[in-house]
């Protein structure tokens, strides 16, 4: 299934196919130290080695006995579409994600003073089982299931090389909570966005649903919430006082009569918020229906249409 998702991302760009080329995943910094009370951000970076990259499926492994992820940020990521956002599976010692970028990533962005090749940032601290006064070594690397797909219109898998990091964990002294400093400095909310109403016979049993997406280029997006109420602030179904609830996109509306106030809130890692309100209703505008054209045409549409197409194929398959 994940292979299907990655190929779907790669089809976003239509070009001539070429033999598989190389790409490199690496961690930065390659060496570092984590003292008691401190943490260390570790960037997952991509060296495209002159090729255009469209998508990636990444698995980072770390030793459970030495390290624990505090958080995972996609704030500086070059990816704009996510099948699986960065997630730490703490019981297995793995951080994984699947993401992509329409049009492909072909190298450093002109005018960028830094290396614009970050896919995600993992913030590590010492594991609670690690002796704080004794320094030890922890190796962080990539699992062989990691994949990079080229922007060649075919989802060709690149020949991948990887480079991990070696961290020194524990020892005398006190560390700095670098992630807390970063969060405190972030006063910028996620970027403006909108929620679009849709209805499609292949999704949600032909019920109305909304699609939304935004990015946060500082500490990264954390989650979305929805508010659904009548004009008195009551839940349209239960009649109880309305409240914010966590959701994902796409989201099926509870009030299928479209008579409710619907707001979507994007919250970043620092707690900054951006709110948008759905304005479409049966009284003033009909919802959009994704076009039923050929697969190649659908995959060349905007990000929202691409996500809808992806969801439809996943359900049918």
Tens digits of residue pLDDT in 148-171? 999 988 888 999 999 999 999 988
Q: What is the CA radius of gyration of the chain?
A: 22
Give per-residue pLDDT as tens, 117-146.
999 999 999 998 877 778 899 999 999 999
Q: Which residue has the higher pLDDT, 95 or 310?
A: 95
Given a cut of 60, is residue 296 above it in pLDDT? no
- Locate the DSSP E strands across the chain: 22-28, 31-34, 39-47, 53-61, 67-73, 81-89, 94-105, 118-126, 136-142, 147-150, 159-163, 165-169, 195-199, 208-212, 221-229, 245-247, 251-252, 261-268, 273-277
| 17 pLDDT more than 60 | no
Q: How confident is the model at residue 113 (pLDDT cuts 50, 70, 90)?
A: low
pTM of the model: 0.77
Task: Check if 2-185 and 195-292 are the same fold.
Answer: yes
Q: The domain at 2-185 falls in which architecture?
A: Sandwich (2.60)
Candidates 2.60.40, 1.10.150, 1.10.1740, 1.10.3470; CATH matching 195-292:
2.60.40
Mean pLDDT of the 99-124 span: 83
The domain spans of the chain are 2-185, 195-292
Asked if residue 223 has pLDDT above 60, the reply is: yes
> Contact 42/29 with Cβ under 8 angstroms?
yes
Give me the mean pLDDT over the 22-49 stretch.
Answer: 94
């Amino acid at each position: 299934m994940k292979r299907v998702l990655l190929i779907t991302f790669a089809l976003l760009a239509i070009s001539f196919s070429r033999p598989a080329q190389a790409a490199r995943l690496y961690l930065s910094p390659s060496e570092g130290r984590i003292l008691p009370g401190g943490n260390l951000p570790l960037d997952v970076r991509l060296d495209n080695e002159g090729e255009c990259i469209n998508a990636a499926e990444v698995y980072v492994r770390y030793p459970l006995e030495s390290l624990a992820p505090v958080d995972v940020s996609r704030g500086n990521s070059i990816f704009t579409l996510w099948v699986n956002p960065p997630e730490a599976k703490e019981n297995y010692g793995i951080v994984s994600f699947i993401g992509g970028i329409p049009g492909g990533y072909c190298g450093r962005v002109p005018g960028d003073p830094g290396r614009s090749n970050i896919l995600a940032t993992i913030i590590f601290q010492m594991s609670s089982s690690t002796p704080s006064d004794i320094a030890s070594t922890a190796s962080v690397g990539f699992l062989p299931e990691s994949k990079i797909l080229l922007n060649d219109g075919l989802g060709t898998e690149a020949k991948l090389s990887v480079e991990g990091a070696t961290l020194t964990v524990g020892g005398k002294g006190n560390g700095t909570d670098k992630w807390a400093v970063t969060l405190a400095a972030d006063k910028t909310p996620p970027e403006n966005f909108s929620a679009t109403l849709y209805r499609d016979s292949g999704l949600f049993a032909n019920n109305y649903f909304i699609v939304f997406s935004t990015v946060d280029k500082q500490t990264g997006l954390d989650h979305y919430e929805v508010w659904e109420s009548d004009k008195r602030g009551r839940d349209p179904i239960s009649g109880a006082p309305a409240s914010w609830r966590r959701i994902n996109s796409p989201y099926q509306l509870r009030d299928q009569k479209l008579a409710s106030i619907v707001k979507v809130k994007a919250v970043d890692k620092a707690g900054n918020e951006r709110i948008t309100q759905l304005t479409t209703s049966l009284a003033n505008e009909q919802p959009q229906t994704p076009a039923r054209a050929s697969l190649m045409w659908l995959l060349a549409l905007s990000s929202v249409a691409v996500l809808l197409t992806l969801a439809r194929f996943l359900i049918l398959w």
